[in-house]
Amino acid sequence: MTSKSTLIPPIGVRPTGSDPGRLRPLLAPESVAIVGASATPGKYGNTVVKYLQNAGFKGRIYPINPEGGLHEGLQFYKSLAEVPERIDCAFTVIPAGATPAIVKQGAAAGVRAMILGASGFAEMGSDAGRKRQDEIVETARAAGMIILGPNTNGIWNAHHGLALGYNTSHGEPMRPGCISIAAHSGALFDSFIPRLTNFGCGFAKLVPLGNEATLDMLVMLDALIDDPETQVIGLIMEAIRDGARFRRLAARAHAAGKPIFVLKLGRSAAGATAAIAHSSRLAGSFRAYEALLHDCGIPIVRSIETLAAVCTLASDKRALKLDGDIGLIGVSGSGGGCSLMADHAAERGIALAGDGDGAWTGHTAEVIAGFSGIGLVRNPIDGGNLHGWDKLPDLMASMERDQLNGPVAGFAHRLPTVAADLSLLRPIVARKQRTGAPAVMISPGGLRPEVQALYAAEGVPVFSDLAACFDSLRALYDAIDYAKERRSVREWSAPTLDAAKARHVRETIAAEKGEFLSEIESAEILRAAGVPMVESRVVANAHHAAEAAAAFGFPVVLKAIVPGIAHKNDAGLVAVGLDTVSAVVTAFGELAERALKTGLDNAAARFVVQRQVPSRAEIIIGTTFETGIGHFLVVGLGGIHAELLDSVVLLPVPISQDRLEARIAETKVGALLARLSKSAGRDLSADVVSALTALQSLLLAAADDISSIDVNPLLVGSAGVQAVDALIVPRR
């Protein structure tokens, strides 16, 4: 572990080992072989050939079938070795059992890239499947060959006429655009492509990664950032293998002006309930990914429709550069539609343009005042009160003079005539063309097909579902906010412990053979790292406990530390509020008896006396580790009810102090600390940030040795914060 860690790499710095052109044989091949091609209509091998031909692929196609022959104008070859040139890319439409041999044949023939369509490899969870995949990987690496898959549906490159796969969508007309998708679920393309088409947007590249045998999502993301045809990137993500590299890639994408949106698959916290530390049980896999993506400035979406829509909105580069008042402007043909839009906006924290209560100001208010015979016009605008849409162009123009630059959301019913439909469409589309501000339409009952087609042609998505529409707008607003944040980010180095302290921490953890370090050893490490720990004393008997209590001053807390028991309070091994010598002596005897009843090695039990610290609130701070993406700080409402309250925020390590302060301020803990700070006359948030920074320094010094840390509770009082319990879980 290095002593210095950088959160944001220098702008434009490429991750080590990247090669912008390495994936060209896969993404834009000049020659394609289809292994398992068939002349029989209806078979996958025939479908793949037909899809590729119909897409207008300009390169050379080599169908591979042991029978050979000439079929529908294409020469079939009996093996890859017979092909008269070195092949850029080969797609296999054969069973899993035959795939390793074909990969070896491809390696011998010098094939540069192979797409393996079959399932039956590591995803099966069987020894045979894993062995099959390991064999493929070994062959590919030895030959320097790129493998996409196995267990993938194929690939698309609309700018290259490359529809190489067997999904239904591979046979659809290809509309070139600037959106590219890399996915851990190829089947979702058959849902994504129709939505993108309905929204009137094209695509660049679609890559289902399958089992990621040699080519994973981060390699593909790296390539898409460099791809001139890609301007917006969508990721359909299960899990990634290197959180630090992902952060570097995200920074590079932002520097290149290419927004990323993620549809995260797998939102449950499976496995978290088995963790020892509260911090890890509270974290969960999805929360960790949320934290990582938030820190990277990448919005998360929750549906295919939302992913397609927000990518469509962001495909106009002007959308992410909106400035001034970018509150939402709503337009509806009915009061009910206005109310629904206002409700959905409020639920997602989307502000409405104007004064915040729906009233207009400035030029817009003056224009409205000049209209005669109208009803109340607020935001969202009720077309019924305007008595039609003929006044909407003037309203839109006045909003531009007032620098109201936000998106427009329309709620439309099917009007009596096409002309009436167009009276709403034209001013909305004209504003989008002039300003670049996005526009969306919601029509639960549907629009006339010709009207919906006109919206699509102008890049205005039409939704049937309000929730999906406003989720898309929320993701767009997040992307705008993140882009502004990134413009102000500066490089920094996270501090770590000095070498001597770091060595002591690692040695102490290595010496502990159990599942976790006791509170005594954990507190010693945390105190040395700078975490404010309450004054404590280890005592051997009741007499020594009484002496320690008298020295501290009453009241005190007495704890029994028993090997193997992580959470002492749950086991009844904590006594609080001891305010006399006799109370301490009595409690010592009771805890000793309870420790004996645990059935564990009572001879190894130790007892700790602590000063009882008054507090006004209890919070939890700590760290957790998520395989593949790294360490996180954890902060939330705490105490013995931490898991019941389930109110935590995760923060990826490393994180700068100003970023840490900003993120905590957004949480319930931040609101609580702000309120308590007023009466305390002290910035208690700064005290919590200081404690978290100390945890981060400790973690950066011994990241390979620590799985999780619990500091629970961290007591918040008028004089600052103090931790009264601690638990460190080693990383084995």
The residue among 191, 214, 237 that closes a domain is 214
Domains: count for the chain: 3
Residues 50 and 197 in one domain: yes
Query: Closest by alpha carbon to 442, among 406, 419, 481, 468?
Result: 468
Largest CA distance in the chain: 100
* Tokens describing residue 472: 């898309």
Asked if 99 and 203 sit in the same domain, the reply is yes
Please tell me the predicted confidence (pLDDT) of residue 328.
Answer: 97
Q: What is the pLDDT of residues 119-176, one digit of tens each?
A: 999 999 999 999 999 999 999 999 999 999 999 999 999 999 999 998 888 888 889 9
Position 274 scores a pLDDT of 47
Q: Which of 552, 520, 545 is nearest to 533 (CA)?
A: 520
Going 114 to 120 to 123 to 125, the CA torsion angle's sign is: negative
Question: Considering 167, 182, 214, which residue would you say is the last residue of a domain?
Answer: 214
State the pLDDT at residue 600.
Answer: 58
Whether residue 558 sits in one domain with residue 445: no
In a domain, 439, yes or no: yes
Do 186 and 335 belong together in one domain? no
DSSP assignment of 480-503, as one string? Answer: HHHHHHHHT----EE----HHHHH
Cα angle 547, 553, 558 (rounded to 5 degrees) comes to 65
**Which DSSP string do the residues of 637-673 spell out, in sequence order?**
E-STTHHHH--EEEEESS--HHHHHHHHHTSHHHHHH
Decide if 566 is inside a domain.
yes
Count H helices and E strands in the chain, helices first. Answer: 25, 31
Q: Look up residue 482 and give its two tokens.
A: 């993140």
Are residues 154 and 170 in contact, defined by beta-carbon separation less than 8 angstroms?
A: yes
Residue type, 121: F
Look at the block and give the residue holding tokens 């944040």.
485
pLDDT at position 50: 95
Q: Please check whether residue 651 lies inside any domain of the structure.
A: no
In a domain, 633, yes or no: no
Please state, in angstroms and as integers, the Cα–Cα distance from residue 544 to each residue in 256, 472, 551, following that order: 66, 64, 11
Is the same domain home to 152 and 63? yes
Report which of 134, 240, 136, 124 is spatially closest to residue 182, judged by C-alpha positions. 240
Q: Domain of 548?
A: 535-611
Cα-Cα-Cα-Cα dihedral sign, residues 369, 370, 375, 377: negative
Q: What confidence score (pLDDT) does residue 475 get?
A: 97
Assigned domain for 122 exists:
yes
Cα 602 to Cα 285, 564, 606: the distances in Å are 37, 11, 9
CATH number at residue 435: 3.40.50.261
Q: Are residues 453 and 545 in the same domain?
A: no
pLDDT single digits (tens) 438-479: 999 999 999 999 999 999 999 999 999 999 999 999 999 999
Contact between 406 and 437 (Cβ < 8 Å): yes
Same domain, 209 and 340: no
Q: What is the CATH number of the domain that holds 90?
A: 3.40.50.720
pLDDT of residue 269: 52
CATH number for the domain spanning 593: value is 3.30.1490.20
- Structure pTM? 0.90
User: Do residues 548 and 442 share a domain?
Assistant: no
Strand partners, 561: 606
Residues 175 and 44 in one domain: yes
Question: Of 551, 581, 611, which one is at a domain's C-terminal end?
Answer: 611
37 and 171 both lie in a single domain: yes
| Digit-coded pLDDT (tens) for 641-692 | 666 667 888 999 999 999 999 999 999 999 999 999 999 999 999 999 999 9
Q: Do the domain assignments include residue 394?
A: yes
- Structural domain includes residue 9: no
User: d(Cα 664, Cα 670) in Å, to the nearest integer?
Assistant: 5
Rg for the chain (alpha carbons), in Å?
A: 31
Return phi, psi of residue 143, to 5°.
-95, -5
Same domain, residue pair 451 and 540: no
Task: Name residue, tokens 């086991």.
Answer: 571
Low-confidence ranges of the chain (pLDDT < 50): 1-13, 15-17, 270-274, 277-279, 281
Of the candidates 415, 420, 471, the residue with the CA atom closest to the CA atom of residue 443:
415
In a domain? residue 732: no
- 40 and 171 part of one domain: yes
**pLDDT at position 12:** 41
Q: What is the DSSP letter of 236?
A: E
